[in-house]
Structure 1
Amino acid sequence: MHRCQEVKRLRSKWEGQGLYIFFLPKYCDEMNPIELEWQHIKEDELAGQMFEDELELAYAVIDGVEARGKRGEYLTQRVKFRFCHST
């Protein structure tokens, strides 16, 4: 939430209209649904496994996401990003 002067100025007006603003901590995993999914992937799909390198871990995560999606009937889709390195 923006903490600029305009928001501070309008806050009491908004509250008078029934709009209340709540500031969340900088990191609030309880409010971020993806954190629960990652927790399940770590506990249910990856628990007890050892990985030789980052690539093996990456494939295990992909497999875990797909397995969790199938069990929960979620749509999963892999997206490849092209990274640009600045010099």
Structure 2
Amino acid sequence: MSAVLHVPAALATKKGAGYLAEQAGDQTVVLTNHGKSTAVVMSPENFDELQRALREAANRLISGVTDLVAEGATFRSVEDARQRLHVDR
């Protein structure tokens, strides 16, 4: 994933959509309002990569849960499930 640039929404409004698109080509742009994140702008390539990674993670999770259910595994806590599925926080 690319670097992150935080830009106040007021500045983004002044500079325009072209500025945001240009910045998002090199890095992920996080728009802020009073210091809080309000929106994210990223290149289509980074967005596609993020979607691919999320699909892959979801598929691994579903596969792991399916295996555990087939084995009749029981869980005592969310932490127990994380450990058995080898999932980090």
TM-score over 0.5 (shorter chain): no
- Larger relative contact order (Cα-Cα within 8 Å, sequence gap ≥ 6): 2
- Pair member with larger Rg: 1
